[in-house]
Amino acid sequence: MRRVVIGILLAVLAYFAVTTLLVVVWMGRDQRPHADAIVVLGAAQYNGRPSAIYEARLQHAVDLYSSGVARLVVFTGGKEPGDRFTEGGSGAHWAELHGVPASATVIEDQSRTTYQNLSGTKRLLQSRVRDRPMHIVVVSDPYHMYRAITQARGLGFKAYASPTRTSPVSASRLKLTEAVLREDIALGGYLLTRGHA
């Protein structure tokens, strides 16, 4: 029995060591090829105003759009019960105020998870590119990139990472450590359920 317990503990430690390494490695990647779309993963909004975390992602997406990475930007995320505005709608509105024309925006506003953000994006964009995988640049926080890219590729996207460098989460070592540990757990949930994390 003791060997079983030790074996389980070692397996758990090995899992966290590997996933943490992957999360940290992907935190440093910033890929900006010419793509079909920039996809901004949702984050909290307050009565239509993006949170500081979401605003950092939005500003990064606007910068990517302005530099010609893609001609289309997808803003993702639904709303919590009682909210008047969605994350996707709030993000698109903010981006339009900061130079992205409405004609270049697509809003996915039904999702609540990263996987749903991406699968909803696929449904909205699937008619635009039919003869090859759609190329997307995913925008989120650095700690979130490995799982986001893993899920996007699992959905058939040719996905590239471009994390914001101005998120308040990245500015706090404690918050960043907590975020990385949450990613380790969320990644495990995704791998176990293949699509519901």
Any idea what the CATH number is for the domain that residue 170 is in? 3.40.50.620
Residue 43 near residue 79, CB atoms below 8 Å: no
Give the chain's domain count: 1
Q: Quick one: pLDDT at residue 122? A: 96
Q: Quick one: pLDDT at residue 168? A: 95
Q: Which helix (H) or strand (E) holds 121?
A: helix 114-125
Supply the pTM of this predicted model: 0.92
How far, in Å, CA of 111 to CA of 134, rounded?
Answer: 20
Per the listing, tokens 């997406």 go with 61
Domain of residue 65, residue span: 2-193
Q: Quick one: pLDDT at residue 195? A: 45
Average pLDDT, the chain: 94
Q: Quick one: pLDDT at residue 197? A: 46
Positions of the chain with pLDDT under 50? 195-197
